[in-house]
Amino acid sequence: MFKRTKIVATVGPSSWNPSKLKALMLAGADVFRINFSHGERARHAETMATIRAVEENLGRPVAILADLQGPRVRLGRLPGPGIVLKRGDNIQLFAGSDYKTGGPIPVTHARFAGDVHPGARVLIADGEIEARVESIKNGVVGAQVVRGGILKSNKGINLPDCNISIATLTAKDRADLAFAAAAGVDAIAISFVGSAADVRLAKKLLIKAKSDAIVIAKIERATAVANIDGILEAADGVMIARGDLAVEVGYENVPVLQKEIIQKATALARPTIVATQMLDSMTDHPRPTRAEASDVANAIFDHADAVMLSGETAVGEFPVESVRVMTKIIHRVESYFCDRGFNHSEVAGSIAAESAIAAAAVDTAGRLDAKCIVLFTTSGRTARLVSRERPAIPILGFAESERAMRRLSFYWGVAPRCLKTASTMTEHFTDGERALLAAGDVRKGDFVVFLAGLSKVPGATNNLRVHRIGSRLE
């Protein structure tokens, strides 16, 4: 069955060997995520080389997404078993790396005391532990525990009521971005984005590194939600990172925000990835919970372009089974839509000619009961615009380069195909028909809708043609 919603699988110790990567691709993985919050660059380089070797062996494109760590504020080193905190306890925190018995608790942010204020919440370990700031004196922050737990080394800290004076792209992130760009990754995910300026900076750094990788903005801060319109305009796509987002804005708000962000992003033809704990129980068990299956299904009902697996495929015991389960859920929900029709995205205001042609192609294909929509692309822009319309039939994206084909792995409903660029429009369509027949995508007598433009400049698609397979092309 044709799978429209894409799957992003995180690679780690459970999945970075060639046989597992191959199995993940065959199970339905479209994008492999490399998490730069963990591991050394040498390990990442080896993993990416293995992915490319498996890709070549299977003859199927797969994209690589480099996910940068970002400015994560963490606890420093604490005693082995941790420090037990109870509600009402008074604690002290300071900017440092090591804990001394009886002293304040270290936080790995040099300007921590300057960024917080009385009344601000300090959320630790994904919000499991909460304290409120009561005093700030000589660089030491006094706080009272609201919700207790065990403090352990390196646990993350969220400060949802404060403006954190750390650049979104840290020195480590910049170095990792340059490394990933040189390795030829297809996309960069920017963690803890706060505004469109963060995205624009990442794009400038990629240009400097001579990379055309797309930039995915991770929405996981309250400030990102407040600035979502600008971020969507600047980014090539967004990831709804629901873990930190829930800590920042409250778990009860995340389902609504997920729907709103996907709607806005789709209207702008920006791909969306829904992430965090989608099949979390499959890290240790071969089957998901009913709630997890519904969570994945809900993201598909929301028309997300992709759903993501994190620990399930990186460190879990059942990485391949996790992808298979996700694929099974996708097929079932999409079959529901195929019976009732997908909802296309409403685009407000006037639209560019290329967008109008994409919408017309989908409308025409529906009226003719066409077998598929076939487009020829160099940048992926036309694929994004047709994908936005959410057609019920497959979108087959022909591209000349492996780089361009991999980019199509992020777009809902688009199946990448390889085809060299022709010199005339008729040759374009003739070569495309031949490739469709050879692959078994169509049969003689089927209607298809072709979209193409001869110029290699992005946004130059200007030709729509209805064709019955087997009839003469002129």
> What three-state secondary structure class fits 137?
strand
CA dihedral 340, 343, 344, 348 (to 10 degrees): 150
In the set 52, 74, 132, 468, the catalytic residue is: 74
- Beta-bridge partners for 75: 107
Q: Residues with Cβ < 8 Å from 299, sequence gap 6 or more?
A: 5, 258, 274, 278, 307
Q: Residues with Cβ < 8 Å from 296, sequence gap 6 or more?
A: 278, 279, 288, 307, 326, 329, 330
Give the CA radius of gyration of the chain. 24
Which segments of 315-450 does DSSP mark as H helices, in order?
319-340, 353-368, 381-388, 402-407, 425-439
Which is nearest to 468 in space by CA: 383, 395, 375, 372? Answer: 372
6 a catalytic residue: no
In the set 47, 50, 276, 461, the catalytic residue is: 276
Cα 280 from Cα 287, distance rounded (Å) = 10
In the set 218, 381, 390, 407, the catalytic residue is: 218
CA distances from 214 to 10, 218, 410 (A): 18, 13, 10
33 a catalytic residue: yes
Q: What pairing do the DSSP bridges indicate for beta strands 306-309 and 129-137? A: unpaired
In the set 4, 6, 22, 33, the catalytic residue is: 33
218 a catalytic residue: yes
- Enumerate the active-site residues: 33, 74, 218, 276
